[in-house]
Amino acid sequence: MLFKDQLYFVRENMKKNKMRIFMTVLATAMGTAFLIVLASVAFGLHDTLIKDVLEQETVNQVQIYGKDDPNSQGITDEDIDYFQSLEHVRAVRKQSYLRQSPRVSLNGYETSPHTVAVDMGALETGGTPLEDGRYATSSDEVVVGYHFYEQLLKEDTDPEDMYDENGERIDDTLYQGAVIGETIDLTVSRLINETDTEEKTYQVTIVGVTAEPANEWQQDQTLYTTFDFYQSVSEYTGTPGGELYFQEEPMDLTFYYDEVTIQSNNLENIQTLTKTINDEGYYGYSVASELKQINMLFTIAKAGLIFIGAIAVIIASIGIFNTMTMAVTERAPDIGIMKAIGASPKTIKQIFLLESSIIGIMGATIGTLVSYLISFLVNIGLPMILEAVFEEQLPDGFQFSSIPWTLVIIAYTICLLVTLISGSRPAKKATKIDVLSALRREL
Amino acid sequence: MIEVKQLSHQFELGKKDKKTVIPVLQDVSFSVTKGEIVTLVGRSGSGKSTLLHLIGGFLPRQSGAITINGTDVSNFTEAQFAEFRLGTIGFIFQNFQLIQSMTAYQNVELPLILQGVSETARKIQALETLEKVGLKGFEHHYPSELSGGQQQRVSVARALVLNPLIILADEPTGSLDSETEEDLLHLIKELNDSLDITFLIITHDDEVAKIGHRSLMMHDGALIDQEVK
């Protein structure tokens, strides 16, 4: 029997009991929609979280914190050369923290910023763009962070007068002028004996301001200097990085990098790169490895929700079993005639399995379409409801429900499998119909 | 064409501990040659229907052997018999056994569908067969819209459509009046003459028995006599 004819038979049979078929398809569609919508929450939240992580500029970076070597004091230029020789490396950004916060004076405003010596070239290629100006090219030039100006305070400002009753910074207390092109006095201290200090002031020019960080909660108030400046401070204080520490004997001023960030040319290679570096004995960390844990957590959540959703489909399958059993009982005389003519048990079974599969496919298709509609409405409506009821605004790009094609495939597979199982017993029953008994019923 | 050897059959009635065994066929042997019309006559309960059902494969054989067109079908499974039946044997039943939700054309088309014949080819074959049995113009009538004689003609057309070698008929005129019975017997004779189809007909009607080349008489599950015409 041709498949086309089997389909014709099924269609004709389904037409005979439209209402019953409709109700069965409806139950299956509801089960499938429940499964998809339920699981789509895990998919939606996962997508949102992943998107959030991927938006961080640190996502395709491996941060190196040191080396697993007792003789090693830190990361040296030799190590940097090794990192640069690795595959998939786009840039190696290295930095060393000044061990004291120098005092900065700018037109009557003062601050003591966190100061970092960086490789300006790598800063440029390593994804730290400038909002304005240019990168520093000599030891008397610096770049400041986007929020640097916010911490500049007038010399006589009382910290209590800086904020209003709502905790907002009062505009008058902020530095108002442009910072680019301004020359600042950078004063560093050193201990000349156990208790006394003396200071040295460097005059440096602000030549650039970094771009605003990607996330609102990130603050960049750093003062970026060159390694030459860093070395110059080390030589003045006689301690590495200008640390306020007194020692009679001259200290070893060998230069080490405190932090090295390796940027990969591709997010997909980040895990390979991290593994290579860690295998070589370095302490490397990448946000991407956190992604692995997030993915694992959400995979478990998705599987759990799909399992709960599948129960709804299984409940709907009771309807299919009932419908198919009734169909077999009602059509027993026709089945008897077909068998008497020469229909094989296999053909009879195929027709009934096809019918239950079609019910399953119709249910899954309608359920999927309804799920997309629900998902769409939830993504639009939920932020509005949350805003209206709780006065909470969800972050931009927040997705409560997401239905990827893989979820649709999973739902279809579960639905089809369950309908085939529930249809198989009635189909088997149809093949067992005794021709003579069926023909006698026809009388 | 049909060879039955020492065929015996019994029905078991009742539950396990109170089982009653009723023998219906006892050591039946006969053969039917190609192109022959053989009628099986006997009273009700003589075992003629059981014999036909065993030959048609509707009942599992218990003992003895059945050979049809040189093929030993004695040990065929249900699926094997179904396939064999489709291409070799046609059936005519007393109560026509037409599918009520299908038109005359669809009922005749059914065996062709089961055999996997293409739509175009089966349309030609089904219409030709309906014309052959005198039902041209009744293709789209449902069984309920046809007379008893017309329904039996549809049943004959359905049995004929795959050009079977044998047609097994179980009381084919049992539900017909004398006039339509005559028409049907005339049709059977005509088909036998023109297509050389072998007929094995169960009947207790003398008029039907007359058209056969041979009549086999059954009594209490055994063949007791035969009449050659």
User: Are A349 and A427 contacting, i.e. CB atoms less than 8 angstroms apart?
Assistant: yes
Record the tokens describing residue A246, joined without a space: 């007194």
Beta strands A197-210 and A130-133 are antiparallel
A107 vs A177: CA distance, rounded Å: 10
Record the tokens describing residue B94, joined without a space: 């007393």
Does any CB of chain B come closer than 8 Å to the CB of residue A443?
yes
Query: Residue A173 has what DSSP assignment?
Result: G
Considering the segment(s) B34-49+75-228 as one domain, its CATH architecture is 3-Layer(aba) Sandwich (3.40)
Query: Residue B167 has what DSSP assignment?
Result: E
Does any CB of chain A come closer than 8 Å to the CB of residue B83?
yes
A386 vs A396: CA distance, rounded Å: 14
Residue B229, min C-alpha distance to chain A (Å):
31
A262 vs A165: CA distance, rounded Å: 44
Length of chain A: 443
The torsion defined by the Cα of A20, B101, A428 and A316, in degrees rounded to 10, comes to -10
User: Best interface-test mutation with B: which of A6, A12, A13, A337 has the largest number of B CBs within 10 A?
Assistant: A337
Backbone CA torsion sign across B14, B17, B23, B26: positive
**B114–A338: do the CB atoms touch at under 8 Å?**
yes
Q: Where are the beta strands (DSSP E) in A9-140?
A: 61-67, 89-97, 103-106, 109-111, 115-118, 130-133
A291 vs A49: CA distance, rounded Å: 9
Does any CB of chain A come closer than 8 Å to the CB of residue B59?
yes
Residue B145, min C-alpha distance to chain A (Å):
17
Domain boundaries in chain B?
Answer: 34-49+75-228
List CB contacts of B13: < 8 A, sequence separation 6 or more.
B19, B20, B21, B22
Q: Which of B53, B82, B119 sits opposite A436 (nearest CB)?
A: B53
**A345–B82: do the CB atoms touch at under 8 Å?**
yes
List CB contacts of A189: < 8 A, sequence separation 6 or more.
A100, A197, A198, A199, A237, A244
**What b-and-e string marks burial along A389-414, b requiring 16 or more CB atoms within 10 Å of the CB?**
eeeeeeeeebbbbbbeeebbebbbeb
ipTM: 0.90
pLDDT tens track, chain A, 443 positions: 888 888 888 888 888 888 999 999 999 999 999 999 999 999 988 888 887 777 666 777 888 888 888 777 788 888 899 998 988 888 888 888 999 999 999 888 889 999 999 888 777 776 678 889 999 999 899 999 998 988 888 877 777 777 777 777 777 788 888 889 999 999 999 988 888 889 999 999 999 999 988 777 788 899 999 999 999 999 999 888 888 888 778 777 788 888 888 888 777 788 788 888 889 888 888 877 777 778 888 889 989 999 998 998 898 889 889 989 998 988 888 999 999 988 989 999 999 999 999 999 999 999 999 999 999 999 888 888 888 887 777 777 778 899 999 999 999 999 999 999 999 999 999 998 888 888 775 43
